[in-house]
Amino acid sequence: MKKLIQLSSLLALTLAMLSIGCGKNNPAAPEPTVEPTPTFSISSKPVILNDGNAGIQFFAQPDMDVILVRVEIKDPLGNSFTFNAGSATVVKGEVMALQDTNLAYFRVSGKWTFKFVGNKATGSKASFDVTATLNVSA
């Protein structure tokens, strides 16, 4: 009789565990897709400013289609400039000037930092905030 009670208890416990384990399975939420952010290749061109001082112009080339809102530029001395890109659409591989026509920056040797702010032009149109650097020598 004792064995029958133990066997009944074991059977009831097994059935309870199976019923819990066989409940409705909620499907796992899909993993969010991680989209790559754009990268920008930076180039520069030395120029002479109107006052005869050494100047420099900068150009950027994205690796995907973007809508560029602004570029925050910091020179090696810590001075900051904001180039208003005016929400310009820049196509992958297209070179875009980072200053208005006929303007330039004072050429300062060292690491320049460029923070690009905008949105992808295709797909999810996700916003981005990407930083790139360029070393400038005298």
pLDDT tens figures, 76-122: 999 999 999 999 999 999 999 999 999 999 999 999 999 999 999 99
| Reported pTM | 0.76
Structural domain harbouring 78: 40-136
Residue 13, domain member (yes or no) = no
CATH of the domain at 103: 2.60.40.10
Is 12 contained in some domain? no
> Distance between CA atoms of 60 and 63, rounded to whole angstroms?
10
Q: What is the band of 35 on the pLDDT scale with cuts at 50, 70, 90?
A: confident
Residue 121: both structure tokens together? 């032009």
Q: How many Å apart are CA 53 and CA 66, to the nearest integer?
A: 34
Residue range 3-26: mean pLDDT, rounded: 56
Tell me the C-alpha distance between 119 and 126, whole Å.
5
